[in-house]
Structure 1
Amino acid sequence: MRMYMPPAFALHSQEAHRVTLQGTKQEVFGLSVLEDDIIRVYHHPDGTSRHDRTWLLTDIDGNVPTEGRRRDDASAFSCPQYTLTKNNASLHIETEALDIHVELAPLRLTWHDKQGQLLARDLPERAYAYDLRSPNVYHYMERTYDMKFYGFGEKSGPLNKHGRRMRMLNLDAARYNAEHSDPLYKHFPCYITFLPETGSAYALLYDNLSTSTFDMGSEHHNFLPPYRYVECEDGDLDYYFLFGPTLKDVVQKIARLTGYMHLPPRWSLGYLGSTMTYTDAEDAQEQLKQFAQLCEQHQIPCDMFHLSSGYTMKDDGKRYVFNWNRDRIPTPEEMVADFHTHNIKLSANVKPCLLTTHPRFQEVSQMDGFVMCAEEDTPQLDPFWDGEGAHLDFTHSETFAWWKQQLKTHLLAYGVDSIWNDNNEFTIWDDEARIDGFGEQTTISRSGRPLQTLLMAQASFEALEETHPTQRPFVITRSGCPGIQRFAQTWTGDNDCNWHTLQYNIPMGLGLGLSGMPNIGHDVGGFFGDKPSPELFVRWVQNGIFHPRFTIHSWHDDGSVNEPWMYPEVLPIIRETLEFRYQMLPYLYSLFVETHQSGLPIIRPLVLEFPEDQECHDASFDFLLGSHWLIASIWEDQCRRRPVYLPEGSMWCHFETGTWYKGGQTIDCDAPLTSLPTFVRENGLIPMGPKMRYVSPQHDTSRSILAFPSPEGGTHTFTLTEDDGNTTGYKHGEVTTLQLSMSSSKEHIQIDVQLTQSGYVLPYRELEWIFPQGEDRELRGATRVTLDEDGMIHAYTPIPSGQ
């Protein structure tokens, strides 16, 4: 390493939205004012861009062309006017939201908001250094000890990453330690800085997919003030400063830049069954058939099953993507049809690497469709699943099209409903391995391995979209980077079976949500290790139903299988918990719609809703489902009571008992094995539906609104969104939205429902409002009111005319 910091820069040019500086070795440094609160900053050590395209930032319509977008394309932004003040030693850039002071010798930026509050400052000694002997680039910033660092995508440890050093490199991290292991499966070069003293927040999104290091205070230097830094091993330094001012504002801006979550089919919110054991069995088709039958036998609701890669195994014991093992699954079309008879969809596992013994290897090789060796025009070979193989190059147009065609011919033609992109980290160890780059050849290091993952997801998405144009595609991916949310759902990989994993998977998912990837979940019950104890399994299921993705999966060392009925003694609890998941779907689906439109995560750390409460700043394990439902999971054996902190600034109602508590305190709460402690924020409204065996409009014919009016009074609204749940009709107005509102005082409660959009015929004609036990205030706005045997109020309001 020979780190070099240019001693000085000078103003080179000023354009409509861009200020360009030039260094003593002809380096180029630029600032682009894209919005008053969004600034692009880039440093080209070579004087020109090393990689002038991006796949992370969307165009004005929220899309990215397959071949990428030019980095200097600012057409998605308003590019407002700004003020530039110059003198010999510095520049000053002023927008409606930010003041940026640019020191020229040495170069560093200082950021203030319009109230004069300091937001961020570069470290002067090495702010924009680069390596003279390698393509490494750096960004050093000052750090204060009170800063909170959130996001980073899928990372181990607590929510706040202050003091951590993390590497961004997609890796097949099997059996990872959820508290300490790094790197993991995903590459999200983006994080949020929260300043507790002022409540301000901003994000730094680095548009660089090369292997990177994010040091948030792990490294110390005796002669420097506290600092943090980012090191990218290739490409340019190219980042976006996104000023909130609030945490919520920042999260929404990340989604605006990288794209909003694709709205999946409603059935994907149900229980998604999975295990490798069935497809690896000699009688795989019979085993798979029995799963659907056992769901019916044990009255377990289920909407999809993951078809693991055993279906592709040939006689040599190796797995060959797009190959059906006809000994294990003699009639794939009948197998798929049998699942459909039980109203269960099927998602097929696919992998982006072909072993050298794959029957299609030469076909792809002849079209140069693989990632290629650095020095030779031969496929780059790396270890992969029982052999050696070459990874497909999705930046090659023919490979991209070939992949889609194979999906259509070998899977979708049989009726497979969904594509499961697995083992897609592209663990190619030679950084100089070459890719086509859509006609502009480059290395796997410079373009970034995650680009392959992103394009693989896009290709799978398009194959489904082209096969069923009116249906919503559903793609699942293990690996990913910013932008993956436009195409796929994800999970946190092959976790281990223990209480520790259950606990630390929670902040891992919360970090993904803050990074723009909200549709996430974990392998419930643990993928590796021995089978969970009955109690661990129950607690994992109870935690899992409150996540966007709910899947029970396993490949246990002891040969056991995680299944809902694996322990008869707790089966009634498991069944009731899964049934509750299905009852929650109206609330959960409305949250999905909100996320699709706003970018706010579905599950949220407490700090996102309560940034003023210092107790929430480092809270990592309790979380909110939406803005109002606090979930307090259990991650210890034999735990029957646990302390729960209730955020300050709100009253909280215990979901089951109806007991109210003042926020800003820790209460000691019962935690029976039958349920988790959960609390609803004052004036919360939670729409619920009926119990169902699978998601179906024909059976989803009622709505109950669980209402929690504050004893102190207040107001709240919730938008309940209804559509057919399967088609793309919602894009064309085929959706109905009901605005539920409730206001209360100490004497009375007023409820109301307004029809704000009417494009889908509702399967119900009234709403039932249910209030906590003990509520006795005068109720207004209902057409009729009843009391149940427990003394709970049930009020009814008709759907407004127009439906």
Structure 2
Amino acid sequence: MKKLILLLIVLTGILLPSDVINTKNGLIFKIEKTNVNEPNFLKIDFITDNIVHIQATRKKQFIDTSLIILNNCINVDIKWNYYQKNNSHFLETQRIIIKVDNSSSMLTFFNKKGEIILQEANNGKIIKPIEFPCERAYSIQQIFKTHEDEAFFGLGHHQLGIMNYRGHDIDLWQHNMIAVVPFIVSSRNYGILWDNYSRTKFGDPRDYISIEDLNIVGIDGKTPGLTAEYFSDRDFNKLYLKSQEQRIQHKYLDVNDPFPKDFGEKIKSVRWSGFIKPEKDGVYKFRLYCSGYTKMWINDELIVNNWRQNWLPWYHFKKLHMKKGNVYKIKIEWIHDGGFIGLEYLPPSDTDYADLLSLWSEVADEIDYYFIYGETIDEIIKGYRLLTGKAPLMPKWVAGYWQSRERYKTQDELLGVLDEYRKRKIPIDNIVLDWFYWPENKWGSHDFDRSRFPDPEEMVRTVHENYNAHIMISIWPKFYVGTKHYEEMLQNGFLYLRNIQLGQKDWVGYVSTFYDPYHEGARDLYWKQIKEKLVPLGFDAWWLDATEPDIHSNLSMEETVKRNGPTGLGPFRRYRNIYSLFHTKGIYENSRKTLPNKRVFILTRSAFAGQQKYSAAVWSGDVAARWFDLKNQIPAGLNMCLSGIPYWTMDIGGFAVENRIATNPKTDDLEEWRELFTRWFQFGAFCPIFRAHGQYPYREIYNIASHDHPAYKSMVYYDKLRYRLIPYIYSLYWKITKEDYTIMRALIFDFPNDKNVVNIADQYMFGPYILVCPITEYKTRSRNVYLPETNGWYDFYSGNFYKAGNSYKIDAPYERIPLFIKAGAIIPAGPEIQFVDEKAANPIRLFIYGGEDASFTLYEDEGDNYNYEKGAYSEISFKYNDKDKTLRIFERKGKYPGMIQNRIFEIIYITPDNPKPFNFKIKPDKTAIYKGKQIKLKLE
């Protein structure tokens, strides 16, 4: 738990006012309060010359430890100065200046040029007492002013289709499709790491309320409430009954308004209609939460048209400026499919959060955050990882293609998939065994149902030896009552008991609960059970599902808090967002001890600040198989990577599929599914992890379409291209570990001075040189592409040159997505292979794109052990000089067992006057025999 320390006066040589106290790397200020919700004390501590820790408290104590910050970055000596000027205090390092207003305690952060980076709003520090059943604490809010052109990114991933969060409200709580990282990056060269583990909100902190508080009348224009029409068909034709309803509140399993009798059996669809008569002018915010097929109109404008699987509803937001005296028509049509729906709103606020940076948390002892200044976003991310931990190097096979589905039901079925891939010569490196390989009533036992998986050890051996592949297995923090592992956890007090006490059954039909990873002993016991049952079988990676934790879906916020906890650290409400962090910590640390020579890989459905140090990747949850969801994955992934978590992936094709596709699909529906999956696959080939997964239809390339179908041809093309690019991708994996790099890059990373890129949510850089432009609409065969300001761009497929800073309409035939290469690029590509280690990457083809200087470092090692931590790896650096048209290949650094001593580099040189496609049929312009010593080549 967090420890508390008393404020101590430390004697120093600095002459300080009586209300200022010196600490090792900063100062403590006593605040003259002007309102009751202000803090009494403010603490400023420098971590580095560009990172500062800010704390504000109403107590006479500050929190001394953190659950996310590394201890070894706290006690570093920093050179800083203090002075007073114009009735303000100033703290200064070599990189930043912090001003503390003497009368208001308002903070302002400057760069060394004296330019304001960030400034608090008036009364920007708010600490309010709050009481819950289990504790008394505070809710906290920190508010800053923003610049007119400022944009905000990060915060984990959210399925809202938003790239730039400015003007939006983001609710940070772990959910199947929300992974929370309370780290925000500004286009104004700073980041804020918010050190709080409870539910947090960016933007407007108010809770949405029921529409019954809004002045709404039915379709007759006078009767209070919405007119509700219930239909016995799905086409809104056969009216079953009609009523007047004050609200739409069918969101949860535990607190819901009742539906009419025979709902579900005889009622298939609902229409709510009426008029909103606002009682004051201002911006109203609406939030529709729904599953099934839903449409919503306001003033005949269609603002929602979506489908979600019935068990996983999702949010849709709409802001509307309304005027008192006007009337606004509203209509909602819902084909429920057994799902959920709720409509809520927020009235106009006295505070315009659209022009503020506000962070609010539900439970805290103090305001606690880290300000990180950086001249680039890469430097800001580097600061985040300095505080929370570096990302270890993933196994090399992780960069290949992953095949998964829900689920392989038998041992033969799983092995048959790998067999088919190898027969067809379609590259693959990893297959995934999803849930339910155990006997039906033994969830958490880690046993196999031997009627379906007769010899799991032999299965894993066959994957490794016969198919040269890897296998990841799904493990949950979940236990059925009565299993041996359940009893072990129960006896040690490591289980959440409320779900058991209520006798709540899961969708399979058994009572279960989750373990508490906040206990170190629980983490160790959880691993002990895995070590005994699964480790001896030889699995390569761990898929940690439902790590929100999702004990039972579709419960209200309050009931979710009750079902989880108390934790080993205290009330769940306070620590709700870090379950996944501690769960991955236990797996990673114990795996390193048990298997010291095998790199850990963890895939999890949730994330938190610091989780990257546990070799954990995150995927975007059980998203739906719709074009809408495909489009939303792009900004979701980009913002997760902007949050400092470098390894992100998704279910290619979407997890849940509509019945029109899953059950006896019509020809047109099947063709739409194939195109959706293909477009998703094309995008996935340029993500940090390339992974297909989902429910029926089966997700294997050969099950999507026949070999002569454009879908099949396209997927095989991009799969093989991914494998050609392994030297590029794996070198970037190393760059993540060595330099805190980010491989999946929003355009703001590399083009911060181009204001046109700030809100672009459907283009990004894959590494430093490849611009990826996915297709996210059905039957689209071209799209507008903006080429950011630089020295120019080359079309990937033709080599044709384009001027930068312009938008172009680019062809996007079924089988291709637009790809561009930045002028001034070096891209290494290897031979055609079926798995990453099939053969050595020799020769390597270097595609050199002229127009600007370029560099790249090729990294190689043994691929799946930790010898790289001991220096067992090699680096070969390349540098292209555009002025004299030369390529310099520098002397190799380092060595490792099995390293290629002499190798061949084939150079393809592309310029505006000499375009060439990115392929392997064209003859090299130059060939270099490299023996580890520096060589220089003239390309023209």
Q: Normalization by structure 2: what TM-score?
A: 0.74
Q: Distance in 2 between matches of 1:248 and 1:346?
A: 33
Cα deviation for residue 155 of structure 1 reads 2.0
Choose the corresponding residue for 2:434, options 308, 321, 324: 308
Show the counterpart of 2:393. 263
Which secondary structure does the structure 2 equivalent of 1:587 belong to? helix
Show the counterpart of 2:812. 671
Does residue 137 (structure 1) correspond to residue 140 (structure 2)? The answer is: yes
Which secondary structure does the structure 2 equivalent of 1:679 belong to? strand
Q: State whether residues 848 and 909 of structure 2, in contact with CA within 8 Å, keep that contact through their aligned partners in structure 1.
A: yes
Choose the corresponding residue for 1:109, options 104, 107, 118: 107
Cα deviation for residue 788 of structure 1 reads 9.7
Q: Distance in 2 between matches of 1:383 and 1:81?
A: 59
Q: State whether residues 152 and 512 of structure 1, in contact with CA within 8 Å, keep that contact through their aligned partners in structure 2.
A: yes
Show the counterpart of 1:152. 155
What is the percentage of aligned positions where both structures have the same residue? Answer: 24
Cα deviation for residue 40 of structure 1 reads 0.6
Does residue 737 (structure 1) correspond to residue 867 (structure 2)? The answer is: no
- Post-superposition Cα deviations, 1:436-479, rounded to whole Å, max 9, x if no partner, equal 64xxx522222x23332112112222343233211211111111
Show the counterpart of 1:291. 417
Q: State whether residues 445 and 485 of structure 2, in contact with CA within 8 Å, keep that contact through their aligned partners in structure 1.
A: no
Does residue 523 (structure 1) correspond to residue 651 (structure 2)? The answer is: yes
Show the counterpart of 2:451. 327
Q: Which amino acid aligns with 1:542?
A: Q
Which secondary structure does the structure 1 equivalent of 2:158 belong to? coil
Q: Which amino acid aligns with 2:357?
A: R
Show the counterpart of 2:907. 769
- Which structure 2 segments of 5+ residues have no match? 1-16, 132-136, 206-284, 286-345, 552-558, 662-671, 936-940
- Post-superposition Cα deviations, 1:737-778, rounded to whole Å, max 9, x if no partner, equal 111121234xx621221124131322751211112388669x
Q: Distance in 2 between matches of 1:399 and 1:305?
A: 29
Which secondary structure does the structure 1 equivalent of 2:853 belong to? strand
Q: State whether residues 700 and 763 of structure 1, in contact with CA within 8 Å, keep that contact through their aligned partners in structure 2.
A: no
Choose the corresponding residue for 2:580, options 453, 457, 473: 453
Show the counterpart of 1:654. 795
Q: Distance in 1 between matches of 2:837 and 2:874?
A: 17
Show the counterpart of 1:631. 772
Q: Which amino acid aligns with 1:212?
A: T
Show the counterpart of 1:169. 173
Q: Distance in 1 between matches of 2:702 and 2:140?
A: 53
Q: Distance in 2 between matches of 1:395 and 1:167?
A: 23
Which secondary structure does the structure 1 equivalent of 2:639 belong to? helix
In structure 2, the CA distance between the partners of 1:688 and 1:224, relative to structure 1 (3 Å rule), is: closer
Q: Which amino acid aligns with 2:191?
A: A
Show the counterpart of 1:6. none
> Counterparts in 2 of 1:77-476, with a 5 A limit?
77-85=76-84, 90-131=88-129, 133=131, 135-156=138-159, 157-173=161-177, 184=178, 186-195=179-188, 201-215=189-203, 221-222=349-350, 226-235=355-364, 236-279=366-409, 284-314=410-440, 316=441, 319-340=443-464, 341-371=466-496, 386=508, 387-427=510-550, 429=559, 431=561, 434-435=565-566, 437=568, 441-446=569-574, 448-476=575-603
Show the counterpart of 1:561. 698
Cα deviation for residue 611 of structure 1 reads 0.8
Cα deviation for residue 588 of structure 1 reads 0.5
Which secondary structure does the structure 1 equivalent of 2:402 belong to? strand
- Post-superposition Cα deviations, 1:186-229, rounded to whole Å, max 9, x if no partner, equal 1211101223xxxxx11110111111111179897447794331
Q: Greater shift after overlay, 463-472 or 159-168? A: 463-472
Q: Which amino acid aligns with 1:230?
A: L
Q: Distance in 2 between matches of 1:799 and 1:660?
A: 34
Which secondary structure does the structure 1 equivalent of 2:156 belong to? coil
Q: Which amino acid aligns with 1:31?
A: I
Q: Distance in 2 between matches of 1:285 and 1:332?
A: 7
Which secondary structure does the structure 1 equivalent of 2:450 belong to? coil
Moved over 6 A (4+): 216-220, 378-383
Q: State whether residues 775 and 792 of structure 1, in contact with CA within 8 Å, keep that contact through their aligned partners in structure 2.
A: no
- Post-superposition Cα deviations, 1:660-706, rounded to whole Å, max 9, x if no partner, equal 11111112222222222111111201000111111216354331111
Q: Greater shift after overlay, 682-691 or 635-644? A: 635-644
- Post-superposition Cα deviations, 1:282-330, rounded to whole Å, max 9, x if no partner, equal xx1221121111112322211111110110242x5x7335132222212
Q: Which amino acid aligns with 2:637?
A: G
Which secondary structure does the structure 2 equivalent of 1:528 belong to? coil
Which secondary structure does the structure 1 equivalent of 2:193 belong to? strand
Choose the corresponding residue for 2:54, options 36, 41, 45: 41
- Which structure 1 segments of 5+ residues have no match? 1-8, 61-72, 174-183, 196-200, 778-786
Q: State whether residues 379 and 390 of structure 1, in contact with CA within 8 Å, keep that contact through their aligned partners in structure 2.
A: no
Q: State whether residues 772 and 793 of structure 1, in contact with CA within 8 Å, keep that contact through their aligned partners in structure 2.
A: no
Q: Which amino acid aligns with 1:254?
A: Y
Q: Which amino acid aligns with 1:481?
A: F
Q: Distance in 2 between matches of 1:581 and 1:591?
A: 14
Which structure: larger Rg? 2
CA-atom RMSD in angstroms: 2.8
Q: Distance in 1 between matches of 2:752 and 2:85?
A: 37
Q: Distance in 2 between matches of 1:86 and 1:383?
A: 66
Cα deviation for residue 412 of structure 1 reads 1.2
Q: Distance in 2 between matches of 1:161 and 1:147?
A: 10
Q: Distance in 2 between matches of 1:717 and 1:627?
A: 10
Cα deviation for residue 92 of structure 1 reads 2.5
Q: Distance in 1 between matches of 2:505 and 2:111?
A: 51
Cα deviation for residue 427 of structure 1 reads 4.0
Q: State whether residues 735 and 741 of structure 2, in contact with CA within 8 Å, keep that contact through their aligned partners in structure 1.
A: yes
Q: Distance in 2 between matches of 1:118 and 1:288?
A: 58
Q: Which amino acid aligns with 2:49?
A: D
Q: Distance in 2 between matches of 1:335 and 1:380?
A: 39
Q: Greater shift after overlay, 473-482 or 697-706? A: 697-706
> Counterparts in 2 of 1:590-739, with a 5 A limit?
590-696=731-837, 698-710=839-851, 714-739=852-877
Q: Which amino acid aligns with 1:289?
A: L
- Post-superposition Cα deviations, 1:513-543, rounded to whole Å, max 9, x if no partner, equal 1111011111111111145622222211111
Cα deviation for residue 388 of structure 1 reads 4.0
Which secondary structure does the structure 2 equivalent of 1:297 belong to? helix
In structure 2, the CA distance between the partners of 1:789 and 1:485, relative to structure 1 (3 Å rule), is: closer
Does residue 29 (structure 1) correspond to residue 29 (structure 2)? The answer is: no
Q: Which amino acid aligns with 1:21?
A: F
Show the counterpart of 2:296. none
Which secondary structure does the structure 2 equivalent of 1:188 belong to? strand
Show the counterpart of 1:198. none
Cα deviation for residue 248 of structure 1 reads 2.6
In structure 2, the CA distance between the partners of 1:744 and 1:347, relative to structure 1 (3 Å rule), is: same
Q: State whether residues 785 and 809 of structure 2, in contact with CA within 8 Å, keep that contact through their aligned partners in structure 1.
A: yes
Cα deviation for residue 10 of structure 1 reads 8.4
Q: Distance in 1 between matches of 2:536 and 2:123?
A: 60
Cα deviation for residue 792 of structure 1 reads 6.2
Q: State whether residues 156 and 607 of structure 2, in contact with CA within 8 Å, keep that contact through their aligned partners in structure 1.
A: no
Cα deviation for residue 492 of structure 1 reads 1.0
Q: Distance in 2 between matches of 1:511 and 1:165?
A: 15
Cα deviation for residue 106 of structure 1 reads 3.6
Q: Which amino acid aligns with 2:540?
A: D
Q: Distance in 2 between matches of 1:788 and 1:342?
A: 26
Does residue 799 (structure 1) correspond to residue 931 (structure 2)? The answer is: yes
Which secondary structure does the structure 2 equivalent of 1:41 belong to? strand
